[in-house]
Amino acid sequence: MMDELELLKKDWQKKEEHLPKLSYDAIHKMTWKKSSSIVKWILIISVLELVLPNLLLLLFVGTEDWSNTNLGLMKNYYLAFNVLYYVVVLYFIYQFYKRYREISVLDDSKNLMRKIIKTRKTVKNYVIFCLATILISFAFYIIGFYIDESILLNFKGIVEKAKEVPLEKIKITAVWIFALAGILFALFMGGVYFLLYGLLLRKLKVNYTELKRLEV
Amino acid sequence: MNKQLEHQFVTELENNQNIVHKVCTLYTNNRDAHNDLFQEITIQLWKAYPKFRGDSKFSTWMYRVALNTAITLYRKSKRRIKTQDYESVIFKIKADEYDETEEEQLKLMYKAVKQLNDIDKALVFLYLEDKNYAEISETLGISEVNARVKMNRIKIKLRTILNP
């Protein structure tokens, strides 16, 4: 049986004359265009992920409501928690930068894919950390309500409400609201993230699996 | 200095653009997508150009960047407008050059290659470009033995597509 590929190879090399031909100017213009590669997208999404939660936090902390909030007995824990949070965020920024710099189009295909997946893993860990932080923050409040009523009373309108309804009941309602809000918020953020990356890296994952499958 | 580098790059790419066009032809299905991928490969080549030392040929270096972009970095364009039967333009076979059966067989072969997955296409592409297994394995990051094994499997796969 004749090797079909050999036949194709002969024809393939004759094909050159049928290929499009771009002018010097057309190519020159292209060098000024912006890349829309997945690496670029990972960078954009990651920077947003780093900036947005912290921006929200800063806006929240900056409001009068917050500065008036007396965290009571929880204050020191909260401060320590915050310091720890920013140390970890800085660590993630450093890690991400390092991984991002390692990605090179000059690598062989398998290595390139491996490095992109590694970079994505860093982002994934960061998102998990962020989600955990959100949940812990809400848990902080819930615990706070129990050990120090003044935290609850500091919320707008609670003092007036407490005159009509027993404080115990408000406490239970607040705990439920915070617990549900925390879980919903985390689920929403997580959902958006996994959808975004799932779509972005679907092709890469298929190809990487294919290349890895060759090695066994 | 930068201007000079740019001029050098564009000239080299202009002379070797066939390689990029061939990759685009294999990995896309319409003219818009072809141009889109060509542009992304050009951007990646230009970004990496300062690292091109000239110890390998420019064309050799292009294969790697072009394939990496097509397989890994490029996101398929959202625009899926079928402007024309694209394949028939690029893979045009002049009737007078071949006898009927050979022409028909080649058409089927090209169609079959287009049906392969991204990695298989990359192997076939390098094979058609007359690259040896050492180069194929280096470009894709698999061992030479595995490249051979894979290539044989692709041949069988193509044969079954052609003779079902």
How confident is the model over A122-164, as pLDDT tens digits?
Answer: 888 988 888 888 888 888 778 877 777 776 777 767 777 777 7
Residue B85, pLDDT score: 44
- Average pLDDT over every residue of B20-43: 92
Degrees (nearest 5) of the Cα angle B62, B64, B68?
120
Select from A36, A37, A198 the least CA-distant residue to A124.
A198
Residue A164, pLDDT score: 79
Tell me the C-alpha distance between B29 and A81, whole Å. Answer: 53
Domain count, chain B: 2
Q: Which domain holds residue A185?
A: 46-213
A15 contacts in chain B (CB < 8 Å): 22, 90-91
CB A208 within 8 A of CB B140: no
* pTM for this model (two decimals): 0.80
The distance in angstroms from the start CA to the end CA of chain A is 30
- Average pLDDT over every residue of B95-121: 79
Token pair belonging to B69:
């972009």
Q: What percentage of chain A has pLDDT greater than the value 90?
A: 15
Task: Report CB contact under 8 Å: B140, A110.
Answer: yes
Q: Does A110 touch chain B (CB under 8 A)?
A: yes
Residue B141, pLDDT score: 92
Q: What is the mean pLDDT of chain B?
A: 83
Residue A86, pLDDT score: 86
Q: Is A73 part of any domain?
A: yes
Considering the domain architecture, whether residues B117 and B160 belong to the same structural domain is answered as yes
Burial string for B36-73 (b: 16+ CB within 10 Å, else e) reads: bbbbbbbbbbbebbeebeeeeebeebbbbbbbbbbbbb
Q: At residue B157, does pLDDT exceed 80?
A: yes
Considering the domain architecture, whether residues B85 and B108 belong to the same structural domain is answered as no
Higher pLDDT, B147 or A17: B147
Whole-number CA gyration radius for chain A: 27
The partner residue sitting opposite A8, judged by closest CB among B40, B109, B119, is B109
Q: Which domain holds residue B68?
A: 1-92
pLDDT band at B62 (very low <50, low <70, confident <90, very high): very high
The partner residue sitting opposite B109, judged by closest CB among A4, A18, A110, is A4
Tell me the C-alpha distance between A9 and B130, whole Å. Answer: 8
Residue B128, pLDDT score: 92
We report the CATH number of the domain holding residue B122 as 1.10.10.10
- Residue ranges of alpha helices (H) inside A107-166 are 109-147, 149-153, 158-164
Higher pLDDT, A181 or A68: A181
Task: Write down the ipTM of this complex.
Answer: 0.81
DSSP state for residue A19 in the 8-state scheme? S
Highest mean pLDDT among A23-27, A169-173, B73-77: A23-27
Q: Report pLDDT digits (tens) over B3-31.
A: 888 999 999 999 999 999 999 999 998 88
Considering the domain architecture, whether residues B17 and B44 belong to the same structural domain is answered as yes
Considering the domain architecture, whether residues B49 and B8 belong to the same structural domain is answered as yes
Q: Distance from A88 to chain B by nearest Cα, in Å?
A: 30
Which of A21-25, A42-46, A72-76, B116-120 has the least mean pLDDT? A72-76
Task: Report CB contact under 8 Å: A109, B13.
Answer: no
- Average pLDDT over every residue of A173-191: 86
Tell me the C-alpha distance between B73 and B65, whole Å. Answer: 10
Tell me the C-alpha distance between B140 and B128, whole Å. Answer: 15
Q: Does B90 touch chain A (CB under 8 A)?
A: yes
Domain count, chain A: 1
Q: Is A195 part of any domain?
A: yes
Task: Report CB contact under 8 Å: A11, B93.
Answer: yes
Q: Report pLDDT digits (tens) over A58-98.
A: 766 555 555 455 555 567 777 788 888 889 989 998 998 89
Q: Distance from A119 to chain B by nearest Cα, in Å?
A: 14
Nearest CA in chain B to A209: B119
Nearest CA in chain B to A2: B159
CB A116 within 8 A of CB A42: yes
Considering the domain architecture, whether residues B128 and B148 belong to the same structural domain is answered as yes
Q: What is the mean pLDDT of chain A?
A: 82
Residue B126, pLDDT score: 95
Q: Is A12 part of any domain?
A: no
Q: Does A102 touch chain B (CB under 8 A)?
A: no
Considering the domain architecture, whether residues B98 and B138 belong to the same structural domain is answered as yes
Angle between helices B144-162 and B118-128 (to 10 degrees): 100
Task: Report CB contact under 8 Å: A211, B155.
Answer: no
Q: Does A44 touch chain B (CB under 8 A)?
A: no
Considering the domain architecture, whether residues B16 and B85 belong to the same structural domain is answered as yes
Considering the domain architecture, whether residues B99 and B88 belong to the same structural domain is answered as no
Q: Which of residues 22-41 of B touch A (CB under 8 A)?
A: 22, 25, 34, 38-40
Number of Cβ within a 10 Å radius of residue A75: 14
Task: Report CB contact under 8 Å: A12, B13.
Answer: no
CB B13 within 8 A of CB A27: yes
**Could you say which of B66, B92, B118 is where a domain stops?**
B92
Nearest CA in chain A to B138: A108
